[in-house]
Amino acid sequence: MSVRIFEGTNHANLYSRFRPTVPDEVIAEVLRFLEGRIPSDKWDIAVDVGCGSGQGTNKLSKFFDSCYGYDVSRAQINEAQVVNHSHNVYYDVSPAESLPNIGTDSVQLVTAFTAAHWFDLQAFFSETDRILVNNGVVALICYLLPGPDPIDPLNPTDKRLIKLMSESYYDPRLAPYKNPKIVSTEIHYNDFRFPNHYDFVHKDNIVVSKTTFAHELVGYYQSWSLYQGLVLKDKPLADQCLQEFIAKLKDILKTDDLYTKEITYCMPITAIEAKTGPTPAIAANPTTTPCPLCGRNFLPERL
């Protein structure tokens, strides 16, 4: 059974407003992998599980006749229907491990954007086996926590923003509310095990940069499941943590106006793309590739 953790209305709203959208570069990578197995004129149905507020579902809808987004949280689905609802997208409440409204052997692509670590993977793969057509693809994508590596473009050598995000994520006051399943994102999904009849590629060097405003980091911080856990348990302490984060952010950026202060961040992303097939994957020896913005090392694609 999927972990149920993003179900509050306020949390769903924060998630919709401040979680990073799925970059076009990642969508393109997934579709390239799919096109190598199934021609694009055969792309009828995509299913996005753990869809949250539909950041990825809506982008996929441009390439398929029909696109279905499922999440265990009614609040998340409500957000998706309001914010990210193209004409050929259909949202509903359902766990990733059981999709009774999707026909057997009917789907070309199943995606999970920063969600698969919450799944019961054995049950999930049993369901993808049922719904995928021959050579159908599963794509499991996540950005690596603590998330964006922000940089002040006016002071690009200053790494204090990156340090702030890391220290805030590992704040001992939040630690009791860290679900063990989050660890999978910290180790780049390297603990995931596909069934032997899946061929897979693990790509770990997708780095996307974006310019945004500093207040987005505040909303992103609030959207963390760790922080929301503290809100439910001890709201005054959660408010204190938030105000400390805001104060440090303003101090580093030397501004009181986080709504007009621009920052640049790089978003490290890992992707596992797999197709149903008879041959198990063969892993290559990993090396590292530095991100051009933050200098952080990433494993290159693993075949």
User: Are the C-beta atoms of 73 and 2 separated by less than 8 Å?
Assistant: no
pLDDT-derived band at 63 (thresholds 50, 70, 90) equals: very high
Helix (H, G, I), strand (E, B) or coil at 189: coil
Read off the pLDDT band of 86 (50, 70, 90). Answer: confident
For the packed helices 235-253 and 225-233, what is the interaxial angle rounded to 10 degrees?
A: 140
CA dihedral 204, 209, 215, 216 (to 10 degrees): -50
Minimum mean pLDDT among 127-136, 172-181, 182-191, 268-277: which range?
A: 268-277
CB-CB neighbours of 196 under 10 Å: 11
Residue at 302 is within a domain: no
Q: Mean pLDDT lowest for which of 106-115, 117-126, 241-250, 260-269?
A: 260-269
Query: Residue 113 belongs to what domain range?
Result: 9-276
Confirm whether 244 is domain-assigned: yes
- The total domain count for the chain is 1
Q: What is the pLDDT of residue 272?
A: 87
Q: For residues 285 and 255, is the Cβ–Cβ distance under 8 A?
A: no
Determine, yes or no, domain membership for 2: no
Residue 278 has a pLDDT of 43
More confident residue, 301 or 145: 145
Helices 9-18 and 74-83, packing angle to 10 deg: 40
Q: Domain for residue 301, yes or no?
A: no
pLDDT at 288: 44
* Residue 248, domain member (yes or no): yes
Q: Are 66 and 52 in contact (CB under 8 A)?
A: no
Contact predicate 163/245, CB 8 Å: no
**Residue 133: pLDDT band with limits 50, 70, 90:** very high
Angle between helix 215-223 and helix 225-233 axes, rounded to 10 deg: 70
Contact in structure between 217 and 165 (CB atoms under 8 Å): yes
Would you state the pLDDT for residue 279? 33
Q: What whole-number distance in Å separates Cα of residue 84 and Cα of residue 76?
A: 11
What is the number of residues in the chain?
Answer: 303
CATH of the domain at 194: 3.40.50.150
Q: Which of 94-108, 136-150, 155-169, 224-238 bottoms out in mean pLDDT, i.e. has the lowest?
A: 136-150
User: Buried b / exposed e across 252-287, counting CB within 10 Å, b at 16+?
Assistant: bbeeeebeebebbbbbbbbbbbbbbbeeebeeeeee
Across 118-150, b (16+ Cβ under 10 Å) vs e yields: bbebeebbebbbebbbeebbbbbbbbbbbbbbb
Q: Report phi then psi at 207, rounded to 5.
A: -120, 120
Least confident of 118-127, 179-188, 264-273: 264-273
Residue type, 154: L
Average pLDDT over residues 182-211: 87
In this structure, is residue 3 part of a structural domain? Answer: no
Q: Where does the chain have alpha helices with state H?
A: 9-18, 24-35, 55-60, 74-83, 121-131, 160-169, 183-186, 215-223, 225-233, 235-253
Average pLDDT over the chain, rounded to an integer:
84
pLDDT tens profile 34-51: 999 999 999 999 999 999
CB distance 19 to 220 below 8 Å? yes
pLDDT at position 286 over 50: no
Pairing of β 262-276 and β 198-213: antiparallel
Residue 284 falls within a domain, yes or no? no
The tokens of 4 are what?
């149920």
Is the per-residue pLDDT at 228 higher than 50? yes
